Amino acid sequence: MAEGPRGLRPETHALDALIQATIDRAQQAPGSLHTDTMLFMGNRHQAFPTLVVQDPVLEPVDKLVWMVILLQAHEMGNTTAFPSYEYLARKTNVASTSTISRAIAILRATRWLTLCARLRATSGRFGGNVYALHDEPLPLADALHLDPDYMNFLRQSLTHHHARVRLVARGVLDTIDEDIHEGIDICAVQHPLDRRVQAVEVIQRDLPRRYFAFSAKVMGRLRNGVVEKDPDHQDQNSKTDENRPQNLYPQKSKAGSCSSSYINTTTTETTEATKIFSHADTEAALIYPRRLSENQRALADRYLNTVPADVRQSILDELEGRLRSEQKGMRPLYDELRFLHALCRAAKQGEFIPNLGIKVHDERIARALERSRRQIQEAPGPEDAANRHNTLAAGQKRLDAIRRSLKMPTLADRDSKPR
């Protein structure tokens, strides 16, 4: 290439040298003389989803944090260290890392970002988190599958130190409750195009429509910035282990049911798998099937809130009985919450009749009675027949109270029936 006039910028000389080097490489490569070559010398560009830029729920700092995380992933590879709060604050020109913490909480609540796992060393020491970044908000079923702690995170966010996080988390939970009360299967698969069309109508036409995780009613509340006062609110910092190395692993979501990754495994245990959770509207604790994940239990609570308190345990027993029936040859139940949803709908319509759950209930009562008898037998100190009889009578009275609360016949009722 001919030498140009003096006074050219150094950038032009560098470009001239780059062009000449490109020509040399093209001439040396076999068969390359018939191939056009192009150099792009402008600034580096990056493509971002239109939805994240126009999202009506995210605030500017939330969108900017999402973009910086994406840039980090593209520069370092799809599997890379999650940027620290300090790095994000520096790249977004935000002074406070608490603002970054708030943005990440909102991205997770709105399902633009998913916390998939927490890594721990063999010693048990925390080693970081595994995040997934998405090009549009995940459906609820996918979020429950990838994020085992999602529902608990939403509940904890109701007492977040920032009002905007509380508002967004409340909006997600209210949308779930609204769908449940309207009889919508919240874990049903929705076509991606339908979700995107709804989102476009909200963004471009400003229509009162559902926007991913938010119903039309909740979207109106978010637009108006309505913040409900929480008397139990306590200031707390959601920023944890921000200086630790973390992993970012964008991955495709698995559309389907809300079932956890392990629910298709058949267990050989015949014992009633129960973990006891206190329920807000009942005096006694509800006993849930062990196979339900933490997310599923949280959603089950919201389903059970739509039915009378006296049938809630019976519904859970029926679900447990259906799960046990898989061991006897019945087809696997791949979506526990859909089955629970059907049971609750039948209960609201007065059509719920216990079947598979009767045996589950009777076994639990029998175990409770056996425990009472064993405690009496193992009680220290001398005990005469009268005291033993009184203790057994008191235990039987408690069991009869439980049976009456469940509308089951008591032992006295059975004895009084003519034979």
pLDDT mean over 376-400:
69
The whole-angstrom separation of Cα 226 and Cα 232 is 18
- Select the more confidently predicted residue: 316 or 369: 316
Answer whether residue 393 is part of any domain.
yes
220 shares its domain with 356: no
Tell whether the model's pLDDT for residue 247 goes beyond 60.
no
- Select the more confidently predicted residue: 401 or 385: 401
Which residues in 64-207 belong to E strands, given as ranges? 80-82, 113-120, 126-133
289 shares its domain with 400: yes
In this prediction, residue 206 has a pLDDT band, given cuts at 50, 70 and 90, of confident
Picking from 233, 254, 282, the residue at the C-terminal end of a domain is 233
Check residue 280 and give its pLDDT.
46
In this prediction, residue 131 has a pLDDT band, given cuts at 50, 70 and 90, of confident
Answer whether residue 164 is part of any domain.
yes
Picking from 202, 233, 264, the residue at the C-terminal end of a domain is 233
- pTM of the predicted model over 0.75: no
- Select the more confidently predicted residue: 154 or 275: 154
pLDDT mean over 399-413:
71
Least confident of 287-291, 317-321, 370-374, 403-407: 403-407
71 shares its domain with 160: yes
Least confident of 50-54, 117-121, 123-127: 123-127
Tell whether the model's pLDDT for residue 121 goes beyond 50.
yes
Whether residue 253 contacts residue 146, with contact meaning beta carbons closer than 8 Å, is answered with yes
Check residue 383 and give its pLDDT.
54
281-295: pLDDT as tens digits: 444 689 999 999 999
Give the best-scoring range by mean pLDDT among 213-227, 233-247, 315-329, 403-417. 315-329
Tell whether the model's pLDDT for residue 86 goes beyond 80.
yes
The per-residue DSSP string of 221-285 comes to: HHHHT-----TT--------STTS-EEE-------S-S--TTTTSPP---S--EEEE--TT-SSP
In this prediction, residue 405 has a pLDDT band, given cuts at 50, 70 and 90, of confident
The whole-angstrom separation of Cα 127 and Cα 246 is 8
296-331: pLDDT as tens digits: 999 999 999 999 998 999 999 999 999 998 888 889
Q: How many domains does the chain have?
A: 2
181 shares its domain with 289: no
Domain range enclosing 185: 50-233
Tell whether the model's pLDDT for residue 348 goes beyond 70.
yes
Picking from 233, 263, 295, the residue at the C-terminal end of a domain is 233
163 shares its domain with 306: no
Answer whether residue 35 is part of any domain.
no
77 shares its domain with 181: yes
- Residue the block writes with tokens 């009162």: 208
147 shares its domain with 280: no
Tell whether the model's pLDDT for residue 152 goes beyond 90.
yes
Check residue 251 and give its pLDDT.
42
Tell whether the model's pLDDT for residue 368 goes beyond 70.
yes
Answer whether residue 137 is part of any domain.
yes
To the nearest whole number, what is the mean pLDDT of the chain? 77
Answer whether residue 43 is part of any domain.
no
186 shares its domain with 90: yes
**Closest by Cα among 113, 405, 49 to 248:** 113
The helix/strand/coil state of 128 is strand
Answer whether residue 264 is part of any domain.
no
293 shares its domain with 214: no
Check residue 282 and give its pLDDT.
44
Tell me the two tokens of residue 134: 């998405």
Tell whether the model's pLDDT for residue 228 goes beyond 90.
no
pLDDT mean over 176-185:
90
